[in-house]
A = this chain, B = another copy of it.
Amino acid sequence: MCRLAAYLGPAIALEQIVVAPTHSLLEQSQHASEAKLAVNGDGFGFAWYDQAQEPGLYRDVLPAWSDGNLPSLCRMIRSRLFLAHVRASTAGETSRVNCHPFSHQSWSFMHNGQVPDIQRIRRRLEAMLPDDLYALRRGTTNSELIFLLLLTSGLSEDPASAVNKVLDILIDQSRYGAGKDAVRLTCVFSDGQAIYAFRHASDDREPTLYLQAGEGGAWTLASEPLDGDVARWDCIEPDVLVRLEPGRCSEVKLSTWSSVASPGSRQEAVA
C-alpha cells in the first residue's frame, strides 16, 4: 500500500501539498493513519506539468523523509498540476524504476493498491501490450503494468473506456471470485490537462481517496486529508471515474465489470 496526493489549479509550490500541511504527504510517509502500513518508506516520486506537454519526473529510492533534495525541490518547483506518491512495497527490492509516478509522453500515472497473484499473471498481461509499449517496461511493478495496459486500451482517446477495459482484464485474470485476495486499486493519472481518479475493489475495501475544492477552481486529491480533518473533504465514490479540470469535476460511472458483482453488495468503503 502507498499514499498519494495530486493537485490541479493556480500554480503553487509543491511543498504546499507535499510538505507544509499538518498531515502532508511527507507526514503520511511516516504516519499514515488509514493504511494497513503506517510507514511508506520505499521510495517516492512526483510528476509535474508546466507549459510543456511532457511532465517532469523526480523519483528516488530513499524514504521521502530522508531525501535532502526533496524539501528544496518542493519549495522551488511551482506547478499548476502535479502528482506525488510515497511507496510502501509489499515485496521485492526498492528500485527507482519501481517508484511512482510513471510517465509516458504527456501522461503520468500513480497507483495505490494490490493485484493478487501478480507474479502469476504478469506474463499474460505483458503479452497484451503492443511492441512499443512493451519496450517501455522498465521495472516489475503491477502499477507500471496497469499504466501500460491503460495506454494500450486507448487512454488518450477515451479514459473511461480504457479504465473499464483494464478493470475487466485485471478482474478476469486474477479471478477474484476464486482467489482469497481481492483486486484493490486507487489510481490517479493525468494528461497534463485534467486529473483522473478512480477507486475499485473486488471486496468493497477500496483504498481511500479524498477530494477537496480550493480557491481559483483548484482541486486537491489525497489518500488521507492533508489537514487531518475528514469533515472538510469528500470521499471519491468507488467505481466512478472522476475527471478534474479547473473549477469543474465530472464523473463517469464505470460499468463493464459491474455485472460480475453481486447486486446490492457494493457499499461505501470505510475510509
- What residues make up the interface of A, taking CB atoms closer than 8 Å to B? 30, 38-39, 41-43, 48, 50, 52, 56-63, 65-69, 72-73, 75-77, 89, 93-97, 119, 122-123, 131, 134-135, 137-140
Contacts and interface: CB of A to CB of B under 8 A. Distances in A.
Shortest Cβ-Cβ A-B pairs, 6 listed: A56-B76, A66-B94, A68-B93, A57-B72, A41-B41, A56-B72
Contact of A93 (B42, B89, B97, B123): B97
Nearest to A127: B127
A69 B61 contact: no
Contacts of A65: 41-42
Interface centre among A41, A42, A59 (most CB of B within 10 A): A41
Given A76-B50, A122-B135, A131-B123, A66 B93 contact: yes
A136 to B, nearest CB: 10
A253 to B, nearest CB: 36
Contacts of A56: 72-73, 75-77
Contact of A69 (B39, B52, B57): B57
A123 B130 CA distance: 10
A131 B41 CA distance: 31
A76 to B, nearest CB: 3
Contacts of A139: 97, 139
A96 B68 contact: yes
Contacts of A75: 52, 56
Given A39-B41, A43-B66, A52-B76, 9 more contacts: A41-B41, A41-B63, A41-B65, A42-B63, A50-B76, A59-B69, A62-B94, A66-B94, A73-B73
Nearest to A41: B41
A73 B58 contact: yes
Nearest to A103: B72
A52 to B, nearest CB: 7
Contacts of A89: 66
Interface centre among A58, A59, A65, A95 (most CB of B within 10 A): A95
